[in-house]
A and B are shown apart, each in its own frame.
Chain A
Amino acid sequence: MLLLPLSASANVALVASLNLAEGVQLVSLILLGLIMVASALGVVLLSNIVYSAFLLGLTFISISGLYILLNAGFVAAAQILVYVGAVNVLILFGIMLVNKQEEFSVIKNAWIGKAATAAVCAGIFGLISTMVLSHPWAISTQTAAGDNAIEIIGQHFFSDYLLPFELASVLLLVALIGAIVLARREFIPDAEVAQATSLTLPERPRELVAAGARDDR
């Protein structure tokens, strides 16, 4: 608590305003946390993959809300721009442009795969919980960078984080060129290709009506 030479009433007012701000922050933290956990569970548990994709967007937005609570406005906006605006839209595009229905044959001893997955998940969970429990969660006494964060991030990008930054951009360039190569395949127009029936949209057969036919009833 700051000890300032304030009059009694002003001091009460200061405490009241602080309480208000803290209360709003606490409520937003709880709400955002609940939304994040619920939507993340929905991503994993729902069987409809489109719902999963949209809920993933909600998860990203609530994470960005947590960044705002941490006074990291730039990171929050970047989170929305990159994860919701780019990654999530890309995932949605992927889901909506691919309309492939495949019959999966029953695999023998499928439980081995499931057991292995469970073991890996339990291992990761154990590792993360050990990290959470062993880490000294001392809250930094430094004031948050706030609006200066952009400059600090920029300086880090061009000094001590230059190599990861450049590597990430090279990775993006590789992905870009790969996408162009995939998109520029040239198809031979006359070659007969067995068209997979699963690529057409399911449609009810329609009776053909001759042109000019009259419906005398």
Chain B
Amino acid sequence: MNPGIDLQRTVVQALIELGLPAGVAKTIWLPLPMLLMVIVATVSIFICVWLERKISAAAQQRIGPEYIGPLGAMQAVADGLKLVFKADITPAKSDPWLFTIGPAIVVIPVFLSFLIVPFGQNLVITDLGIGIFLWIALSSIAPVGFLMAGYSSNNKYSLLGGLRAAAQSISYEIPLALAVLAVVLMSNGLSTIDIVNQQSSYGILGWNIWRQPVGFVIFWIAALAECERLPFDLPEAEEELVAGYQTEYTGMKFGLFYVGSYVNLMLSALIVSVLYLGGWNFPIPIATITGLFGLSETAPWVQIISASLGIVMTMLKAYLLVFLTILLRWTVPRVRIDQLLDLGWKFLLPVSLVNLLVTAGLKLAFPFAFGG
């Protein structure tokens, strides 16, 4: 296996050669990828908001934002600045502590989950053995934040919205985890790197989407519900619940929910591309291309190009999925709460169980194709 670029080793090596002790060199390296990932996640909010506004506008034959920045690209910055300067109101008789901690609990796990998102063989913060399981575990913390925000607002709509959001989140976590389990069964490991490597042999034909079409659809529906995107955005259904658990929030506390939902959308899109769309892999394997042109796969410039291509591919797939969610938003109507729970418990759960069973059976029957 071609190891690709290992930035950590290179940077630490360079710092040691500058005369620093190894411990210090490693300590200097440690925050860099984390900082980079936080920046990537934060910038993705602005991109997602801009895409959301522009694509929504195109879907409704409007123009959308066009004055702030080129093509209105700075609109999200203006929105964010507005939120920062808004008065921070804590409603009367609310619980100020829980009211403040609630949004933070929703946002922090989402950012933490970026620990395991890979952009290349070595372009990942940590290659944890529990990989994708960490994401499932962290995403289960969010309902606590919803309940906290809903309860502390001293508002019936907020409380109901918080309970709804938590119920939705925990009921769609089960099909989500079962769909992931089927993928894990095929890749013999929970590590995101292993999952991508297992799909990398035959280019686009080796991607999990062909072997797990049902799992892909289940995962995508459940991920949309986890992100509270339309058609599953009923925790904040404006007509019935004002804005659910966000009703009483203003300023940057509301902004945190906003940030959390968009980063979560981006994260889910990245995870889908890792689990089902081959992660950083180009539709044609890099080894085939280099073989065709008679190039050495370990030549430095080839490695730089293939690493950049990997990052571009991961982002491209993720943003394609974000585009799909925005189109879905204007295509399908919102489901009711009973329809939502029916879909989750009576349709997705049995289907995902059957999918898991079929995957296990296929793995035993065709070990060469299903990672025996």
User: Which one of B130, B144, B173 contacts A73 once the chains associate, using CB atoms below 8 Å?
Assistant: B130
A73 vs B166: C-alpha distance in the bound complex, in angstroms?
Answer: 26
Q: Assuming A80-B137, A96-B163, A97-B163, is B147 touching A16 (CB within 8 A)? A: no
CB-CB contacts below 8 Å: A1-41 with B: 9-10, 12-14, 16-20
The answer to whether B14 has its CB under 8 Å from any CB of chain A is no
B129 touching A89, Cβ below 8 Å: no
Minimum CB–CB distance for B95 against chain A, Å: 8
Q: Does A187 contact B (CB under 8 A)?
A: no
Complex: A18 Cα to B159 Cα, angstroms: 49
Is B356 an interface position by the 8 A CB rule? Answer: no
CB of A39 to closest CB in B, whole Å: 13
Looking at the complex, which one of A13, A50, A73, A86 makes contact with B129 (CB distance below 8 Å)?
A73
Q: CB within 8 A of A84: which of B26, B140, B190?
A: B140
- State the CA gap A173–B130 with chains docked (Å): 27
**Chain A residue at minimum C-beta to C-beta distance from B22:** A13
In the complex, whether B37 has a CB less than 8 A from a CB of chain A is no
Q: Which residues of A contact B138 (CB under 8 A)?
A: 80
- 1/0 per residue B121-152: CB within 8 Å of A? 00000001110011011101101100110010
In this complex, the interface size class of chain A, counting residues with CB under 8 Å from chain B, is 20 to 34
Choose from A19, A54, A85, A147 the contact partner of B143 (Cβ within 8 Å).
A85
How far does the alpha carbon of A65 sit from the alpha carbon of B133 in the complex, in Å?
16
Return the contact of A96 from the options B98, B147, B190 (Cβ within 8 A). Answer: B147
Nearest residue (CB) in B for A19 is B23
Contacts of B144 in A (CB 8 A): 54, 57, 84, 88-89, 92
Whether A77 contacts B130 in the complex (CB less than 8 A), given A20-B27, A88-B144, A92-B147, comes out as yes
Instruction: Say yes or no for B291: interface residue by CB 8 A criterion.
Output: no
A20's contact among B23, B128, B159, B191, by CB below 8 Å, is which? B23
Task: Determine the chain A residues whose CB is within 8 A of the CB of B350 once the complex forms.
Answer: none
Q: Given A50-B151, A84-B141, A92-B144, is A13 in contact with B130 using a C-beta cutoff of 8 Å?
A: no
Query: Count the B residues whose beta carbon is within 8 Å of the partner chain — how many?
Result: 33
Kindly provide the distance from the CB of A25 to the nearest chain B CB, expressed in whole angstroms.
14
CA distance A57 to B141 in the complex (A): 9
Nearest CB of chain A from residue B356's CB, rounded to whole Å: 15
Within 8 A of A (CB), among B22-60: 22-24, 26-27
Summarize A's interface: helix, strand, loop or mixed.
helix
A104: interface (CB < 8 Å):
no
Decide if B151 touches A96 in the complex (CB within 8 Å).
yes
The CA-CA distance from A81 to B174 in the complex, in Å, is: 11
- Chain B residues with Cβ under 8 A from A77's Cβ? 130, 133-134, 136-137
B166 contacts A93, C-beta separation under 8 Å: yes
Q: Which chain A residues border B27 with CB–CB below 8 Å?
A: 20
Q: Which A-chain residue is minimally distant from B143 (CB atoms)?
A: A89
B170 interface residue (CB < 8 Å to A): yes
Cα A93 to Cα B347 in complex, Å, equals 24
Q: Is B156 an interface residue (CB 8 A)?
A: yes
Interface residues of A in 84-103 (CB under 8 A from B): 84-86, 88-89, 92-93, 96-97
Cβ distance A63 to chain B, nearest Cβ, rounded Å: 13
Query: Which chain B residues lie closer than 8 Å to A167 at the CB level?
Result: none
Given contacts A18-B23, A85-B140, A146-B129, 13 further A-B contacts (CB under 8 A): A10-B22, A16-B23, A16-B24, A74-B129, A81-B140, A85-B143, A88-B144, A92-B144, A92-B147, A92-B151, A93-B163, A96-B151, A150-B129
Q: List 27 A-B contacts (CB under 8 A).
A: A14-B23, A16-B22, A16-B24, A17-B22, A17-B23, A20-B23, A20-B27, A54-B98, A73-B130, A74-B130, A74-B133, A77-B133, A77-B136, A77-B137, A80-B140, A81-B133, A81-B140, A85-B137, A85-B141, A86-B170, A89-B140, A89-B143, A89-B166, A89-B170, A92-B144, A92-B166, A96-B162
- Give the 4 A-B residue pairs with the shortest CB-CB distance, closest first: A85-B140, A147-B129, A17-B23, A13-B21
